[in-house]
Structure 1
């Protein structure tokens, strides 16, 4: 097992996180819901569309994220939901523009050890992936232990080594599809226990001060995407430690099978070679990912990562479909006479073309919050972050599981 930590040291036992856990809430409606199912506006803007593997990964050439219209942004969300991860090279997007793009998709999530509320800085890793205690280099889905785990993540690389520092994504919709019907039926009924305990302990022992205490939360082992309705495994060896519904030995052996199923899925995987200005946007609900560590100077790799809260994971036995059965997202139907982004109708009475979200109101700083005012979930402000951490610079991924 790679789920180990660096020990319950006196520092860990004495530490008190300054902020409480973020409670479950209803996030804004997924922007992929408003997208033209053909994604014509986005795909026509590309000079070339590269489908990198049969199951996962699409690269769009000739598109600048800084210039996308709201309709194209929504279509990008749908493309990420369908293809798992979308790649771009030679991007001119700044951190402020990345922040604005992130806010288009919903309420921004925050890593438990992240200082700057706008992003987390991702550095390289020189770990040995074979090390017993090295959970940080294994496959994971960002912050899957949250009550509302992230939906979309945006990662932009600023500096990269000449060799090394790649990232791997694996399709969890395809992983589910490749299971036998008997295993699919079993896994449909199970719940995975996700925990942040290992990252919390390791962060403190590295000298970082996590904002929130450790937590264990239970999510369905198989989840349904809210827009595409495609069923996906929601498993990752970095954060999932038990399967509710199974006895101890049964759970251990099943977790080992899931890990082998994930690690042996070369045909369901895409590996991305970064360059300065490269950006990846992925849907955490349908992929697992990991950085490939070692063999280079970690200080030569730097990126900026942002992500947004998604819905609480759910499993829909009635509407859920397997990836092999997916025929594309149907058009949104007319319900109440207000316009959506693609000329269809929205179900909540708001206009989908202006980037506003039904479940949130807009605060003075332009961010969205489910409780009617701007700022981070849990009301963590920049000033509170700096006071809690004692530093003003943004946090690095040395204390986090980073892509």
Structure 2
């Protein structure tokens, strides 16, 4: 007897409205629809008021910015004393892993001289990500914090995020009190890992970058970092050679669409730029992979299937490389400094009890990515 035909119900297409648009997912910024001013300023039955109300996000949908113009970036890390006498004179340095990351005590970033800032740029380029504990950056006037960060490059104004009133140069990562939409996110996603380097769709993406904690859950919300230079070195010489000369497009369109879908803003028309897959750091001379699944879209000159195949290998290589990754735990007074040119990172959404997570990022832009010749 022939088997009976079984009618199969087709699954409706998923629009990922709760967890991001298609391949693009962004779980860590609530946006204007989720923002509750009273809960942030006064607290709730379960959560206290925000510790830094001057850093609460604002969104001005009417304020638009023109396209970013090219500028000449000066890399201060090239001026640094490699023995770091101004930065680390009284410091305790603890390695996070053997090849990426350090934790530093005994240094106050806001008090550094220009020579100390030069050394900071080089030290971070070498260590890739450094957590400075017991810092006062969050307690300074916002403009003072911006003045400090502006030494390292032109401030980037994020096209979709909220910023403190009067200071759009500060990118805010904010999930408010009693926000439990993490549960919605995981209705459509199995994990919150979103490896990326920041805003690589810009013509001149960021270099030395600062993120500091304003409020955070007791546990959860850690950030993962990957050493993209070590990821490049792990590849065989023949594979490295094949990657040299290849370029890929990086797109900000999906991020803008995601913001609109959430009722957010788009301050500037989204852009797409082409960058080398392998870039060179101007201060260290290191080569690093420069692709990420958040913003990289297509290898130039490759057919779609070819591009997808190679990019997927590189994404998996970076994501699975736990032996060139570090997991950073936040604590009050922490400022994390990393070099976006030679790292990738991902926040983790692993708490859903409504505790606030509120961080501020200062994002100096650097040079346009470039590639030096393959050396074998």
Task: State whether TM-score is above 0.5.
Answer: yes
Which position in structure 2 is the counterpart of 1:39?
A: 84
What SS is found at the alignment partner of 1:281? strand
CA shift digits 1:310-366 (9 cap, x unpaired): 101000116xx79xxxxxxxxxxxxxxxxxxxxxxxxxxxxxxxxxxxxxxxxxxxx
Which position in structure 1 is the counterpart of 2:148?
A: 101
Query: Are residue 180 (structure 1) and residue 180 (structure 2) matched?
Result: no
CA shift digits 1:207-248 (9 cap, x unpaired): 111111122111000000111111000011100011113221
Larger Rg: 2
Which position in structure 2 is the counterpart of 1:25?
A: 71
Q: Is the 8 A contact 2:156 2:169 kept in 1?
A: no
Q: 2:195 aligns with which of 116, 128, 139?
A: 139
Q: Is the 8 A contact 2:192 2:349 kept in 1?
A: no
Q: Note the 1:81-160 alignment, pairs <5 A.
A: 81-93=125-137, 94=140, 95-114=142-161, 115=163, 116-124=167-175, 126=182, 137-160=193-216
Q: Is the 8 A contact 2:277 2:290 kept in 1?
A: yes
Offset, 1:41? 2.0
Aligned length: 310
Rounded Cα–Cα distance in structure 1 between residues aligned with 2:134 and 2:88? 17
If the length of structure 1 is used for normalisation, what is the TM-score?
0.72
Q: Note the 1:64-75 alignment, pairs <5 A.
A: 64-75=108-119
CA shift digits 1:70-89 (9 cap, x unpaired): 11111011011111111111
Which position in structure 2 is the counterpart of 1:312?
A: 368
- Cα distance 1:26–1:298, how it changes in 2: closer, same or farther (>3 A)? farther
Rounded Cα–Cα distance in structure 2 between residues aligned with 1:100 and 1:24? 21
Which position in structure 2 is the counterpart of 1:55?
A: 99
Which position in structure 2 is the counterpart of 1:3?
A: 23
What SS is found at the alignment partner of 1:209? coil
Which position in structure 1 is the counterpart of 2:56?
A: none
Rounded Cα–Cα distance in structure 2 between residues aligned with 1:135 and 1:148? 30
Offset, 1:134? 9.3
What SS is found at the alignment partner of 2:341? coil
Rounded Cα–Cα distance in structure 2 between residues aligned with 1:182 and 1:164? 40
Rounded Cα–Cα distance in structure 2 between residues aligned with 1:215 and 1:135? 28
Structure 1: runs of 5+ lacking an equivalent: 7-14, 323-403
Rounded Cα–Cα distance in structure 2 between residues aligned with 1:109 and 1:134? 32
If the length of structure 2 is used for normalisation, what is the TM-score?
0.77
Q: Is the 8 A contact 1:165 1:296 kept in 2?
A: no
Query: Are residue 210 (structure 1) and residue 256 (structure 2) matched?
Result: no
RMSD over aligned Cα atoms: 2.5
Rounded Cα–Cα distance in structure 2 between residues aligned with 1:108 and 1:136? 28
Rounded Cα–Cα distance in structure 2 between residues aligned with 1:108 and 1:222? 25
Rounded Cα–Cα distance in structure 2 between residues aligned with 1:117 and 1:173? 31
Structure 2: runs of 5+ lacking an equivalent: 1-20, 27-60, 176-180
